[in-house]
Chains A and B, each alone.
Chain A
Amino acid sequence: MSVLTGKERRIVGFLCNWCSYGGADTAGVGRFVQPTDLRIIRVPCSGRINPLFIVKALLGGADGVLVSGCHPRDCHYAEGNFYARRRLEMCKNLLPLVGIDPKRFEYTWVSASEGQRWQHVVTEFTKQIHALPPAPVFPESPEIERLAACAGE
């Protein structure tokens, strides 16, 4: 068991390959200290992010979801992040209806050279998540609960 169990929250990050993933890499190379709660999933473009990825992660027990792409007008594919911005904003509007605090989801833009900015974003978002209680979890059906119990054995 990790020493961070109970102290760490589960935050899922969807980062675009061209800017934000590079930005996170830059932060790493620059040895900027960051919280360790974030688990990064690399995607080709923020336009690839289906809002359902975010919803699925949150309903699956993630405490927070962070999406980051290239700055508007800087998309590697010219307009992927423009579409993403509209979708993600709509998604943010849907979450509170379901009973998920909209603060659990943020999206932002970080370029490959902005290592320091990445450090700032991760630190701030992680703080924001830690200020919230752990994510509410739906009771699993007994069948799937059994599955989870197997995994723990």
Chain B
Amino acid sequence: MPGNKFLATADVAAWLGELSKTMRVFAPRNEGQAVVYREFDAAKGLELRRKPTESAKHALFPRSEELLSFSYLRPAFGAPEKEGETPSDVSQVQVKMPVEPMPTVVFGMLGCDAGSVTTFDPIYDGSKFKDVYYLKKRQATVFIVRACAEVLSTCFCNWVGGDPANTKNADVLATELSDGWLLQPVTERGEKALTSPLLKDAPAASEGQATAIHDNARKSLGDAPNLEGIDAALFSLFADNDFWQRQSAGCLACGTCTYLCPTCHCFSITDETSARNGVRLRSWDTCMASLYTLEASGHNPRSLKAARLRNRVGHKFAYFLRNNDGQISCCGCGRCIKSCPSSVDIRQIVKDALVQAASIAPPPPPQPVAPAAASPKPAAPVKGKGRTKEKANG
């Protein structure tokens, strides 16, 4: 295909170095025993084989992000104090907006990491609300997705509509061949990013080689179970405390799963102040923590970890679906399983939920067969039933 480029293995660092002159380049590298996405630094190397421990979501959704900064202004020296005026008067507060985000490239993110965008877009770029902080970063970021040649036992992207060579929300698909990388532009933005003289036109045979690698990875994922009706199953189990207590017995209620998750997107906003100055920060929050739902009255609707685990699984496989055309908000990267200190396995919970729900409710009557152009999408969600209020996205 025209537009396909080839980057020799020896030139990868040089190309990223070239890009980082004008852009922020995120790429995975080894740090301690972890693989993390950091701004590219040739001296610190790259890690393009092992799967990153963390997701790349912080390129769009930083762990802690300045929304604005403010200062209470001092009255001019000697100025007479005005009656009834306090330092917190709005007129005396100077507010500054953060600097504009830099153009960014995320190189070598996994196909499942692009799932961040699939989940973030409907929330931060929804029909009702637009989040400028997110949008500016989204528009300034090019995603170069790396196809997986190997899959891990915790990978399950094929369960949720993903693919080892996922191109959804990717700008470029990169596949490692024996002596270099085949870069296949997916979007116009991706094509524009591939202009360096270090990139040669890809040889004709390379596309076939890449496809073989993709097929091989697909095959090694194994068969995906049928998750149809998972949202209904989870809704029917909402009040099944016994089920959730059993599932969460081993959970430590830490935030590892949610913070490593590419699609978790909840945040908290705090003002951090010092004397007359302050910054308003938006930082990651986790529904696995009790503070997440703690109300000012002291009441906590999710004081038990069972309810919190139910929320995490429920949000990914039920609540989000119903608000977003059946889109599952889990990308199947398996990080929550791989890094869970207690080996909690979301796949098993989902499977158990389907079994448990089937055991308590008779199967629904067969649906009338749709006309020939049946959509491959899951059955249309039932609107207005059992909707659950979400924290961050309303």
Contact = CB atoms under 8 A, between A and B. Distances in A.
A123 to B, nearest CB: 31
Interface string B59-71: 0000011100101
Contacts of A146: 66, 69, 98, 279
A147 B64 contact: no
Contact of B64 (A141, A148, A150, A153): A141
Contacts of A151: 274-277
Contacts of A153: 71
21 contacts: A143-B64, A143-B66, A143-B272, A143-B279, A143-B281, A144-B272, A144-B279, A146-B66, A146-B69, A146-B98, A146-B279, A147-B272, A147-B274, A147-B277, A147-B279, A148-B274, A150-B69, A150-B71, A150-B277, A151-B275, A151-B277
A141 B281 CA distance: 12
A70 to B, nearest CB: 34
Nearest to B282: A143
A151 B279 CA distance: 12
B278 interface: yes
B238 to A, nearest CB: 38
Contacts of B281: 143
Nearest to A151: B277
Chain B's interface: helix, strand, loop or mixed, by majority?
A: strand
Nearest to B278: A147
Contacts of A150: 69, 71, 277
A146 B99 CA distance: 11
Contacts of B272: 143-144, 147
Chain A's interface: helix, strand, loop or mixed, by majority?
A: helix
* Chain A interface size range: 10 to 19
Interface residues of B, number: 14
Interface string A132-153: 0000000001111011101101
Interface in B67-93: 69, 71
Given A150-B69, A150-B71, A151-B274, 11 more contacts: A142-B66, A143-B64, A143-B272, A146-B69, A146-B98, A147-B274, A147-B278, A150-B277, A151-B276, A151-B277, A153-B71
Interface of A: 141-144, 146-148, 150-151, 153
Contacts of B278: 147
Nearest to B276: A151
Nearest to A143: B66
Interface string B274-315: 111111010000000000000000000000000000000000
Q: Shortest 7 CB-CB distances between A and B: which pairs?
A: A150-B277, A143-B66, A147-B279, A143-B279, A150-B71, A151-B277, A147-B277
Interface in B230-283: 272, 274-279, 281
Contacts of B275: 151
B169 to A, nearest CB: 27
A150 B272 CA distance: 13
Contacts of A148: 274
Contacts of B66: 142-143, 146
A67 to B, nearest CB: 25
Contacts of A143: 64-66, 272, 279, 281
A52 B64 CA distance: 24
A138 to B, nearest CB: 15
Nearest to B280: A143
A82 B274 CA distance: 35
A141 B66 CA distance: 10
A119 to B, nearest CB: 32
